[in-house]
Amino acid sequence: MKENEVNCLHNCKNTCAMLNEALRKEAATVRFYEAVLEECNFPEVRSFLLELVEERRQGILRIIQKLNELHARSQVNDGVISSFNRMA
């Protein structure tokens, strides 16, 4: 798969493969910015990079939150389905 090519499998169960991929890429971007920060000594650029890192970390937290929501919803749905299966 090419760097910017994205293919959804459309068969997620308890999670989303696309959000997991987005999480992986966001984390890699943060690591890259942090590595650049270690080398940079220009205050204006460092400040800018710190802002970018913080924005990306907030994005990572939002992705994790959505993945947790999807997982919880899936567990509830599984519980409802299993309760109907027990009744039958």
Q: What is the pLDDT along the chain (88 residues), one digit of tens a residue?
A: 466 677 776 667 667 889 999 999 999 999 999 999 999 999 999 999 999 999 999 999 999 999 999 888 877 666 666 666 666 5
Determine, yes or no, domain membership for 9: no
Determine, yes or no, domain membership for 16: no
Determine, yes or no, domain membership for 67: yes
Determine, yes or no, domain membership for 17: no
Eight-state DSSP code of residue 8: -
3-state helix, strand, coil in the chain (%, to 5): 75, 0, 25
Residue 49 domain boundaries = 24-87
Determine, yes or no, domain membership for 80: yes
Provide the domain count of the chain: 1
Give the span between the Cα atoms of 25 and 44, in whole angstroms: 26
| CA separation, residue 10 to residues 7, 38, 44 (Å) | 9, 40, 43
Determine, yes or no, domain membership for 11: no
Return the amino acid letter for 44: E
Determine, yes or no, domain membership for 10: no
Look at the chain and count its residues. Answer: 88
